[in-house]
Amino acid sequence: MSSGLGGLNKSPHGVVVGLCQLQLPVIETKDQLDAQVDRVCALVGKARRGSTSMDLVVFPEYMLHGLSMDVCDEIMCERDGPIVARLRAACVQHKIWGCFSIMERNPAAPESPFNSGLIFDADGNEVLYYRKLHPWVPVEPWAPGDLGVPVVDGPNGCKLALIICHDGMFPEMARECAYKGAEIMLRTAGYTAPIRDSWVFTNQANAFQNLMCTASVCMSGSDGTFDSMGDGGCEHGRHCSAFPLPTHPSESQAKECSATSTVREARLGWGVENNIYQLGHRAYVAVQGGARDCPYTFMHDLVAGKYRLPWEGQVKHTDGRSCGFPAPVREYAPSAAASNGHGDAKK
């Protein structure tokens, strides 16, 4: 992480990320959704005016829909629809990269939309498209993501990934991002205050364990029922240090991630604690090249479709009925994109 005053003194290979702690909205109608899109587009412009060096502005999960978990078709979005077109146009107008959140209509199961993230470059090209792999059960009704975890070329030559909220509680998610080359991992969220402590230490752990920058941002303020915690910040695994942001609704604060001079240097040069390399090269001091087997039972079982905890039969919450959702009858069927292992951005 650079100390160049939040991008005011941008380093040659740095990436200045603006994290917008958006005010939690109440969205029940298409008119309210349209007004919220206007608000987000205006904040893209505000971010650019406030920081001419900013490369990427990142909005939280639920930026358009709030925390109601409403799956009403009227307020769902499409990847190529008019709502997303307006977000794309804002990036072009203000010459800035943008990371956005939508609840994406699911034609195969209208009752289970996808929780999706999109990143556009400053020319309006879609460079990343991701569907949340781990909806926050039993609270969220979203379909499980089926596109894997894409890693793309980001601004100023960095390698960039996006995960969403609860995804970051699984160390496997951050490891997948790093394994595929990510140097900066974005994490967007709508979390409320009880999650604050775990939000902070998982962001730190994800960075340290993978020698990676993590930039994370959450919704902020209250909608009259829920209080989003608003915490955002950047972590750098090399220094294991935190750069938290104060909680101010709809404020974008910039931090610089120096991917080339820090992440790449550590991944190539560290011996002790180069964990992302050493996972696949165990005990290389004792055996040539290290042991390259897979000693983890849960990995073998997961791949074989036999993942089962010792206490599996005693787990009390295994569907969404405790949160008012009916027990599902549809079984998961991976899409063609998921089965071939690709979650690449649309070209």
The residue range of the domain holding 86 is 15-278
CA distance 22 to 58: 10
Tell me, what's the pLDDT at 341?
45
Task: Give the residue ranges of the chain where pLDDT is below 50.
Answer: 1-2, 239-243, 339-347
Indicate whether 25 belongs to any domain. yes
- ω into 25 cis (within 30 of 0): no
Instruction: Say if 315 falls within a structural domain.
Output: no
Q: Is residue 268 part of a domain?
A: yes
Over the stretch 209-250, which tens digit does the pLDDT of each residue have? 999 999 999 999 999 898 888 877 888 765 444 445 555 666
Active site residue 61: yes
Instruction: Say if 73 falls within a structural domain.
Output: yes
For helices 171-179 and 196-210, angle between their N-to-C axes, nearest 10 degrees: 30
* Residue that is written with structure tokens 């005990």 in the block: 283
Residue 309 lies in a domain: no
Residue 303 in domain? no
Non-local CB neighbours of 100 within 8 Å, separated by 6+ positions? 40, 59, 63, 84, 87, 117, 118, 119, 120
pLDDT of res. 256:
84
300 in any annotated domain: no
Kindly name the residue from 10, 20, 41, 61 that is annotated as catalytic.
61
Distance set, CA 145 to CA 17, 178, 338 (Å): 25, 19, 9
Residue 305: inside a domain: no
pLDDT number for residue 338: 53
- Identify the active-site residue in 77, 99, 165, 218: 165
Write b or e for each residue in 183-214: b if 16 or more Cβ atoms lie within 10 A of its Cβ, otherwise e.
bbbbbbbbbbeebeeebbebbbbbbbbbbbbb
> What is the DSSP annotation of 59-89?
PPTTTTTTTS----GGG-B-TTSHHHHHHHH
- The mean of the pLDDT values for the chain is 90
pLDDT score for 255? 79
Decide if 233 contacts 245 (C-beta within 8 A): yes
Q: How high is the pLDDT of residue 2?
A: 46
| Res 296: pLDDT | 98
Bridge partners, residue 15, by sequence: 257
d(C-alpha 96, C-alpha 45), whole Å: 9
CA 199, 204, 205, 209 torsion: positive or negative? Answer: positive
Q: Which of 132, 176, 177, 218 is catalytic?
A: 132
Q: Domains in the chain: how many in total?
A: 1
Report pTM.
0.92
CATH number of the domain residue 25 falls in: 3.60.110.10
